[in-house]
Structure formats: structure tokens, C-alpha cells
Amino acid sequence: MNDLARHSMDEFLDTLASAAPAPGGGSAAALAGAMGSALGAMVCALTIGKKKFLEQAERLERVQSALNGYRHALLRAVDSDAQAFDRVSQAYKLPKEGEDAVESRRAAIQEALVGAARSPLEMLAHIQEASRALIELCGGFNRNAASDLGVAGALLRAAAEGAYLNVMINIASIEDVSRASSLRSEAESRRASVLSDMDALAERVTM
């Protein structure tokens, strides 16, 4: 399950379409976020150097650099999310005969579930920052790439929804109510921020 992001597109999609439990929705969401960030960086590349935007070069280069950073972070998350799921699966396979074994297994499962919730939550943080970068890019860009920017926003929206769903499915089994509530609150806040930004972006690229 290592280096999923380095597989060919065919290999990755073949694995995604198989009965293998991972990669799954979380890894797919991470890839969508990486693609959205990459498209945003492409819009920057298609704008930088244009006479109309010469005075905005510093802004555009900064946004481009940020989006490329989020792209790499989200590509890494393709693997990290699958690995987090694998740790949960392994915890459920621990021995459960005897009081000590039962308690040890329960603790391992809870720890793994928290990790599996944190993975897509970190993903959401990168997606949120990438969505803010796209909004900043709306301040001036090559309109010939408007549809590309719109698709970037749609991909980040899908990535945010996917990451959010993966947080929620994992916190549903976390016994620590306070921790689960904290994770849920952060996930809801980040998701709402992304959706709001991408609503605004969709309006601006179609004007």
C-alpha cells in the first residue's frame, strides 16, 4: 500500500476499483485536492508573464508556490490516509481473548480511529488553504483559463466533502466524547469555509 501516489493512473484506479479496502474514499479525496491545487497552479502559470498582469507577478508567483505546496501535501495524503485505515484494520485483528487482551485491543482501536480521523482532518486543512489561494487568484488571472480555475474549485469542493465524510465515519466510533466533538467541530468549520469559498469562486469564474 506504499507509494500509491507514484503508481500510474491506471494502476491506482485499478486498485481503487478492486475489492481492496484501501485506497478508498479518503485517498480519492486527497487526489482530487491535489488535482485541484495543480490546476490552480496551472492558471497561475498561464497568467504569469502576460503583459496585462506584469505588475501582479509577485502575487501570482506567491499563489502559484502555495498551490504547488498544497498539491504535494495532498499527494502525500493519498498514502497517509490509506495507511491510517490500515492501522485501524490491524487493530481490529488483535487478539480478544482474555480481559487484558480485550482492553489492549480496545485501546489500540481507539488510538487508530483517532489517527484515521486526524488524517482526513489534516487533508481538510490543506484543502482549505488551497481554496483560499484560489480565491486570491480570482483577483486577477488569464480569463482564457477561467474554466480551468472553475474545475480546480469543483475538485477542491469534492475533496473537502470527501475528507469531511472520512472524518465523520471515524469519529462515530471514538469513545472519548470530548475528543470526538473537537474533531467534528474542526471538520465542520473547515468544510464550511471551503464550500463558501468555492461558491464564491464559481460565481466569479462565470462572470
Can you give the CATH number for the domain in which 85 is found?
Answer: 1.20.120.680
How far, in Å, CA of 44 to CA of 140, rounded?
Answer: 10
Query: Which tens digits make up the pLDDT trace of 9-26?
Result: 888 899 899 998 888 999
Does any domain span residue 58? Answer: yes
Count of structural domains, the chain: 1
At position 200, the amino acid (one-letter code) is: A
Does any domain span residue 51? Answer: yes
Helix axes 177-205, 99-137, angle to 10 degrees: 20
Does any domain span residue 1? Answer: no
Q: Residue for cell digits 507509494?
A: 3
DSSP code at position 18: S
pLDDT at 2 over 60: no
Does any domain span residue 161? Answer: yes
Query: Which tens digits make up the pLDDT trace of 65-112?
Result: 999 999 999 999 999 999 999 999 999 999 988 989 999 999 999 999
How far, in Å, CA of 142 to CA of 54, rounded?
Answer: 12
CA torsion, points 57, 66, 161, 186, in degrees to nearest 10? -120
Does any domain span residue 2? Answer: no
* 8 Å CB contact between 30 and 123: yes
pLDDT at 132 over 80: yes
Q: What is the pLDDT of residue 12?
A: 86
In this prediction, residue 1 has a pLDDT band, given cuts at 50, 70 and 90, of very low
In this prediction, residue 186 has a pLDDT band, given cuts at 50, 70 and 90, of very high
At position 139, the amino acid (one-letter code) is: G
Residue-range definition of the domain harbouring residue 136: 7-205
In this prediction, residue 169 has a pLDDT band, given cuts at 50, 70 and 90, of very high
For 85, half-sphere exposure in the C-beta direction (CA atoms, 13 angstrom radius) is 19
Does any domain span residue 187? Answer: yes
